[in-house]
Structure 1
Amino acid sequence: MSEAIIGANSEVVFHFSIKLSDGSAADSTKVHNKPAKLVMGDGSLTENFEKCLLGLRAGEEKSFELEPEDAFGQPNPDNIYHVDRSKFSAEAPAQVGAIIAFTQPDGTELPGVVREVQGESVTIDFNHPLAGQKLTFEVEILEVIN
């Protein structure tokens, strides 16, 4: 086992599971056995999430709770859009709860959740589905490269 400890610039390979406050699993890299890989400080994780990983070694497991601000943030009202119902098709109908990928001007796709359908107006929420939730993260560190 490597003695490398996760530090400010470490490259880390790890499995993670995200659990909601009711204990149900929201996401896990173990489902498809595809661990996550990141470089500490690269901006892919919040500062407080990274602080929870500092000092861990390969082979260690840890569980920690994060407030919404330290996980996926609070829902932003600017990420709620009203779209005309005519923009939807039989393949992607405007149904409450449906997740639909919208193509952005730069060609990338952004998933949105249909929150409300009222007449010809469809409310789409582009906030992360886990925004505003307190989450429990379980991590298993596989590899640390300093």
Structure 2
Amino acid sequence: MKIEPKHVVSLTYDLYVKKEDGVEGLVESATQEQPLTFLFGAGQMIPKFEENLSTLSTGDTYDFHIAAADGYGEFDEEAVANLPKDMFNGTEIPEIGEVLPLQDNNGNRFQGQVVSVTEDSVIVDLNHPMAGQDLHFKGEILNVRPATPEELAHGHAHGPDGHHHH
């Protein structure tokens, strides 16, 4: 079956990014046992990723690159937050390299990595870990099926090959 909006797609992927020495390294995978399953066209994935898959059908393999700007964005030197230490009142001050779950004033959740700790604040890099990276995806389309009315209502895939509610 061909991939179309409002279809549930299951696929395998290997994501490669260039390391500092310029050689590509594998950073993330989805296997046949644990595929990535998502509702196509629901805005859960990088738009460019979906665009590259939009002509494929079950059983097709793919191999494409996405420039950083179309992936997780360019690295933004300004995307750094100073969190006052009293925010961590009663909890341990995080260590450098630790990733913190944060929330902005609009309730959007994101993660920041601690880059330094000063006397009165914790400095966190808010860039996505893969910001500034060109992404290289390779994989295979395992399954394409129309989404159920419930999946469409919830905006994501359910069932044995989808998202579970606990």
Note whether the superposition's TM-score is higher than 0.5. Answer: yes
1:35/1:90 CA distance change after superposition, 3 Å: farther
RMSD: 2.8
Out of 13, 20, 28, the residue aligned to residue 10 of structure 2 is 13
Match of 1:27 in 2: 28
Instruction: Tell me how far 1:133 sits from its aligned partner.
Output: 0.9
Instruction: Tell me how far 1:128 sits from its aligned partner.
Output: 1.5
> C-alpha offsets along residues 89-142 of structure 1, whole Å, 9 cap, x if unaligned?
897543221112346678886432001223322211222111121111122211
**1: CA distance, partners of 2:89 / 2:15:** 33
Higher mean C-alpha displacement, 78-87 vs 130-139: 78-87
**2: CA distance, partners of 1:110 / 1:48:** 21
Segments of 5+ residues of structure 1 without an aligned counterpart are: none
Instruction: Tell me how far 1:88 sits from its aligned partner.
Output: 4.3
**1: CA distance, partners of 2:118 / 2:139:** 42
Match of 2:46 in 1: 46
**1: CA distance, partners of 2:103 / 2:67:** 31
1:46-65 alignment runs, 5 A limit: 46-65=46-65
1:33/1:72 CA distance change after superposition, 3 Å: farther
Seq. identity, %: 25
**1: CA distance, partners of 2:25 / 2:59:** 25
Q: Which amino acid aligns with 2:14?
A: S
**1: CA distance, partners of 2:70 / 2:104:** 27
Give the secondary-structure state (helix, strand or coil) at the position aligned to 2:101.
strand
Segments of 5+ residues of structure 2 without an aligned counterpart are: 147-166
Instruction: Please give the TM-score of this superposition, normalised by the length of structure 1.
Output: 0.77
2:94 maps to 1:97: no
